[in-house]
Each structure stands twice: as structure tokens, then as C-alpha cells.
Structure 1
Amino acid sequence: MGQAESTVYHSLEKNSNFSGPELLRLKKRFMKLDKDGSGSIDKDEFLQIPQIANNPLAHRMIAIFDEDGSGTVDFQEFVGGLSAFSSKGGREEKLRFAFKVYDMDRDGFISNGELYLVLKQMVGNNLKDQQLQQIVDKTIMEADKDGDGKLSFEEFAAMVENTDIVKSV
């Protein structure tokens, strides 16, 4: 491992929820996913991960991992994205990842339209568009404490606070 690579690993170990040996295992996994050897994973390579391929939110996950918006995920972004899912990842870190799933334009808020689009990806045609919009409107109305028509991270966290999902995190 060269000096530059060693510095990257040290930084990742310090700023992620992974130990040095875990990072080495992740690097091996990353290199297997990087089929073309480009040093980054593109959308098609990302979708080769079985646990992601069948997920209706796969494209949102890729967008979240791709912090710089380049269209590809480098090793640092890969580690950063997975860090929230580590057993050492805290509840707030997991909630922030979930918030990012809905905050499609990365403005720090979940709008009515963003909530609708993400839920539509999850429910597909199981609900009529009008039914889904009613659910979205009701959710925003109940959770939007400051009345600005969108959800901040704090409002989102308060909304999901008592759900079974958060209790299991």
C-alpha cells in the first residue's frame, strides 16, 4: 500500500464505522464490483449487487452513495454509503441515510413531490395516484411542524420516531 493509499485508509478508518481490516475487505469487494477496473462503480456495476438489484429504490441508493454527483461511486463514497449500515452506525446516521432517500434534490428538505416520487417507486401500481397523493398530503400536513410545506430532517426524524423501523435501528 502506497503512502497516498495509506492516508486514504487512515482517513476512512477515522471517519467511517469500519476498522482497518473491514476496510480491506470492503476494498476487495469494491474491486470485484468494479468490473471495468475504472476505480469507480457505475450504475450497471452497482446493480450487479444482488441485494440492490431487486430493490425498487436502487437508483436512489446509487444517487445517495454518489456524493459528488459524478454518476459513479468511488471507494470513498462506497465506504461512506455503507457506513450507516454498519453495526457501529448510530441511529441518527441511519435516519440521515433514510432522509436522503427522499431528499432527491439534496436541498435538506423533503418536498411533497419528492415524497410522492419515492413512495411511487416503492408502491408501484398498488395504489392509484390519487390515493398515493392523499397519503403524501396527509403525511406532510401532520409532520410539517413549521408550516413551510416541506419536511426538514428534524421533522422527518420526529415523524418516524415511534415507528417499528426506528425502534429496531
Structure 2
Amino acid sequence: MGQGSSKQQEDFLTEEEIEDYQDLTYFTRQEIIVAHKKFKALAPDIVSENRNARLEMSVMLNYPELRANPFGDRICKVFSSLQDGSCTFEDFLDMMSVLSVHAPKTVKSEYAFRIFDFDNDDMIGREDLRELINRLTAPQRITEMEMMQLIQNINNESDLDDDGMLSFAEFEHIISKCPDFTE
């Protein structure tokens, strides 16, 4: 390796780290390097000074794909190793890997379920559905009657055991019928 290449490598990741990340994610070497550049771009001074930097959720939400997503805060919280929305590079890499086209549909559905389970009770209940619908329809709000009808329709289609909540198995069953889910 030439001196310029070595210096560039020092600014980013070691070969060993890249190999470990390749084993742990659905990414290639180049995709890992690009992900690190994107993470570093969120807070260059912080990440340059501290290889183990943890960026606050407010900083993470500056990432364009999260900023434009109505579930950006939930995505940060689900992937945060502290569950507070702050992310290390490894948290960010996990997030990017799971949301990539390379991740299997089963992994994507597991994380989607966790993102939509706003109260973290391992079920998607009426209040979770209400929050999900509100986020999808914002800034406009639907009427209470429309909300109740929509929640009822979702439960009629998805709630196989009629308990008023969606388990992961019920969620996964519905997702399996959605060819666009992984795109």
C-alpha cells in the first residue's frame, strides 16, 4: 500500500474492522467504507476525534433518508444500542445494512415490526396503529371515524386470532403478501 492509501485507511477503518463488518452485515467492503463516510459526514469533528463516537438522535436525523422518513426517530431508537436514538458507527452500519436491498425480507420484517411497536410491548396494538397512521398521513389528519375504520380494517385483515393486536407472526404473515415491502 502506498502512503496516501495508508493515510486514507487510517482516517476510516482498519482492514480487520472492515472484514469483521463484512461478516456481520449484508455489505461489501466498499459499501462499509461508504457507510462510514456518510456517518462521519454527519459530525466530522466528533467522529474524527473519537473513533467510538456516539451521535445524538438530533444529529442522526440530519441524515437525509432519516430526515425524510416519518419513522426516522423510531428507526434511530430501534437501531441504537442504548435505545435512546443515539448511534455509534456500528449502530448506523446495522441500520444501513438492514435497510439495504441485500438484507433478507425476514430481517426487514423483524425490524419493521419493532419500529411500528411504539410502546415496545412486542405487539402492534390500536395505539401503535393510530400512531403509525398519524405519521403516514401527516401533516393532514384523518377524522376519528376514518381512523377507527382504518384500524378496524387493518385488524380485520391482519389480526388472525382476533385479540385486537398484531403479533409478530401476524405482522410477518401480512408482510409476506406485500411484494413491495423489501424495496
Q: Is TM > 0.5 for Structure 1 vs Structure 2?
A: yes
Partner of 1:21: 30
Task: Give the Å deviation of 1:91.
Answer: 1.4
Which has more radius of gyration? 2
| More off after superposition, 7-16 vs 96-105 | 7-16
C-alpha distance in structure 2 between counterparts of 1:156 and 1:102, whole Å? 10
Residues 123 and 75 of structure 1, relative CA distance in 2, 3 Å threshold: same
Per-residue CA deviations over 1:76-130 (Å, capped at 9, x if unaligned) read: 1111111122232111122223222211233322111111112111112241133
Per-residue CA deviations over 1:33-86 (Å, capped at 9, x if unaligned) read: 124506122222122222322322222222222242144111111111111222
Partner of 1:12: 21
**Which consecutive unaligned segments of at least 5 residues does structure 2 have?**
1-9, 48-52
Residue type matched to 2:166 in 1?
A: L
Identity within the alignment, %: 22
Task: State the SS of the aligned residue for 2:99.
Answer: coil
TM-score by length of 1: 0.82
2:94 is aligned with 1:94: no
Task: Give the Å deviation of 1:164.
Answer: 4.4
TM-score by length of 2: 0.77
Q: How many residues align?
A: 166
**Which consecutive unaligned segments of at least 5 residues does structure 1 have?**
none
Task: State the SS of the aligned residue for 2:55.
Answer: strand
